Amino acid sequence: MSNQPVPPPPRRDYQKRRQPATAAPKKSYSFDYAKLLSHSSSIPVDRTVKKLRLSKALTIPEGTTVSEACRRMAARRVNAVLLTDSNALLSGIVTDKDVATRVIGEGLKPEETLVSKIMTPSPLFVSSDSLAIEALQKMVQGSKFRHLPVVENGEVIAMLDITRCLYDAISRMEKVVEQGNAISTTAEGVERHSGRSHGFMETLRERMFKPSLSNIVAEASNVAIVSSSDPVSIAAKMMRDLQVNSVVTVTGNKIQGILTSKDILLQVVAQNRSAELTPVEKVMSPNPECVTVETTILDALHLMNDGKFLHLPVLDKDGSVAACLDVLQITHAAISMSINVFDGVRNGETL
């Protein structure tokens, strides 16, 4: 297994003005998108899971207490742990979200609660020979989860975190944008020389090839907002009730900080702090990076990949909080939209 880091794909200036077509027009202006797609510039072949920077899985007995599990996760700087039964067989998985919503959010005591009580039993897994993009699709579809055990020759060899796959999601979206630019340039020439203007390319460019976070925000309206002086236990209950992994603190309409389920695991439970007595402001991340609803999904993925964070507050046109998206929501949108575009092109859409 290679441990060499894979550099993120380079940023590109997608706002660059397109040059007018100089080639003489043909008599027929029919435009075959599928043919253009097949001749677009090459994109690196999808990597397999074993080529990613995998982390050795942390495994503990299912009779371990939540507080001990959190201390061990903190020591390894991970936010998920695999559980084994009395026969040393994989029985479940516990993540930071489970700790925040199923323990702190339910008012349970971490030192008295066994991980078997809050685990997700029989977790899905992925083969080390699977494509990274396939593992990513498995994560973002259905129940949506950020971690997958990696199996080789019938044994769990590692834990795959979604952050290891962001490069592949970014590559997918950049492929869409690159092919979209090529299609737009050619189609604009066809429309100009044929004397027709269908308004097709404007819609295609904005909604399919450069989708913004506004496409996601409408589906993610649950924003958990607490006071910075509220105890962490209140924040965890709100995460549980709204089924989210983060809360934000706001003064006026300006975000002051963000508290995530990972913060609760690492800075509260693992440190033996009382969730009822610890105010959010003591463990939150102040002044988090924010984007607007007009930010493209591709730019959001770049930002999260570069900044190594999993949650992104989104502001509306007035500067108020419109949503707090997590990496699963944004990645799911990226994969879904890229598949829709590819399918549409392969179906031979024409002008």
Q: How far apart are CA 76 and CA 72, in angstroms?
A: 6
Beta-strand relationship, 59-61 and 291-292: unpaired
Percent of the chain exceeding pLDDT 90 equals 39
* CATH number for position 146: 3.10.580.10
Name the phi and psi angles at 254, rounded to 5: -105, 130
Least confident of 22-31, 132-141, 186-195, 278-287: 22-31
Quick one: pLDDT at residue 133? 78
Helices (H), 89-207: 96-98, 115-118, 132-140, 166-194, 200-204
Q: How far apart are CA 128 and CA 48, in angstroms?
A: 7
Is residue 85 assigned to a domain? yes
**Is 12 a residue whose pLDDT tops 90?**
no
Question: Which has the higher per-residue pLDDT, 44 or 141?
Answer: 141
Is residue 75 assigned to a domain? yes
Number of domains in the chain: 1
Least confident of 32-36, 57-61, 259-263, 309-313: 32-36
Quick one: pLDDT at residue 131? 86
> What's the CA dihedral at 113, 115, 120, 123 to 10 degrees?
180
Task: Tell whether pTM > 0.85.
Answer: no
Is residue 234 assigned to a domain? no
Reported as a single tens digit per residue, the pLDDT across 169-179 is 677 666 666 65
Is residue 335 assigned to a domain? no
DSSP state of 46: P
Q: Can you tell me whether residue 80 is helix, strand or coil? A: strand
Is residue 263 assigned to a domain? no
Domain limits at 144? Answer: 49-162
Is residue 128 assigned to a domain? yes
Is residue 44 assigned to a domain? no
Q: How many CB atoms lie within 10 A of CB 305?
A: 17
Reported as a single tens digit per residue, the pLDDT across 263-313 is 999 999 999 999 999 999 999 999 999 999 999 888 888 898 888 888 999
Is residue 218 assigned to a domain? no
Q: How far apart are CA 182 and CA 36, in angstroms?
A: 8
Quick one: pLDDT at residue 209? 52
